[in-house]
Amino acid sequence: MAESITIARPYTKAAFEIALEQDDLSGWSAMLSLASAIVSDQQMQFVLDNPAIGTRKQAQILINAHTENQPLSTQAENFVYLLAENKRLSLLTEISRLYEVMKANREKSVDISITSAFDLNHKQQANLTRALSARLSCNVNITSMTDSSLLGGVIVRSDDWVIDGSVRGKLSKLAEAITA
């Protein structure tokens, strides 16, 4: 995982810079997420793992699958060919993820996932959004989910940055303090 990110980073940077030049950040974002979805498909995995299918052929299969849903620009096609040539098509998932991080940085926004014990109402969500954007001084995009094992409270998570305000977290802290 760590190594694939390292390899994916230069590809992502190149794609991102092209997107910036073309002023088409969202277009590339859509293209990369679709391509990554195709690559993670089981049948496509079979194509990628098959040594009998040449790299150019693999790229064409991917491009065809892509154009069925959404047409590709020449640069995007070339990007896919380049990845195939270097046998890095399987990295598209990482590339797409890194691209989204770069895009979010550029747009000064941050994806935050909030896990709570119960569904949050609109007012609570709005409060959290306001507090978090003040703390992080950027726009926050919140995705929320529920996990009843938290018992109460919320866990706020953005990448590897975590605020654990759940009852479960506090209880485990208490358990640690008592048994220490």
Partner 1 sequence: MQQLNPSEISEIIKKRIEQLDVSSKARNEGTIVSVSDGIVLIHGLAEVMYGEMIAFPNGIYGMALNLERDSVGVVVLGDYEGLAEGQTARCTSRILEVPVGSELLGRVVDGLGNTIDGKGSIKTTLTDAVEKVAPGVIERQSVDQPVQIGLKAIDAMVPIGRGQRELIIGDRQTGKSAIAIDAIINQKGTGIKCIYVAIGQKQSTVANVVRMLEEHGAMEHTIVVNAGAADSAAMQFLAPYAGCTMGEYFRDQGEDALIIYDDLTKQAWAYRQISLLLRRPPGREAYPGDIFYLHSRLLERASRVNSDYVEKFTDGEVKGQTGSLTALPVIETQAGDVSAFVPTNVISITDGQIFLETDLFNSGIRPAINAGLSVSRVGGAAQTKIIKKLGGGVRLALAQYRELAAFAQFASDLDDATRAQLEHGQRVTELMKQKQYSPMSVAQMAVSLYAANEGYLDDVELNKVGDFEAALLSYMGSEHSTLMDQINQSGAYSDEIAAQLKVGTEQFKATQSW
Task: Enumerate binding residues for partner 1 (CB under 8 A).
Answer: 1-3, 5-6, 157, 159-165, 169-170, 173-174, 176-180
Is 128 in contact with 120 (CB distance < 8 Å)? yes
The rounded distance, in Å, linking the Cα atoms of 93 and 90 is 7
Q: Using the minimum distance from each CB to partner 1, give the nearer residue, 60 or 170.
A: 170
| In the complex, minimum distance from the CB of residue 164 to partner 1, in angstroms, rounded to a whole number | 6
Which residue, among 87, 77, 79, has the nearest Cα to 49 in the 3D structure?
Answer: 87
- Nearer to partner 1 among residue 10 and residue 71 (C-beta): 10
Tokens found for residue 170: 């506090």
Nearer to partner 1, 56 or 173 (CB): 173
Cα(143)–Cα(160) distance, integer angstroms: 16
Q: In angstroms, what is the minimal distance from the CB of 179 to partner 1?
A: 8
Q: Which is nearer to partner 1, 44 or 154 (CB)?
A: 154
d(Cα 96, Cα 34) in Å, to the nearest integer?
9
- Closer of 27 and 153 to partner 1 (Cβ): 153
* Host H or E run for residue 172: helix 167-179
Task: Kindly state the helix (H) or strand (E) to which residue 98 belongs, with its residue range.
Answer: helix 92-106
Q: How far is the CB of 105 from partner 1 (least distance, A)?
A: 13
Smallest gap from residue 157 Cβ to partner 1 (A): 8
Least distance from partner 1 to the Cβ atom of residue 101, Å:
12
Residue linked to tokens 């995995």? 45
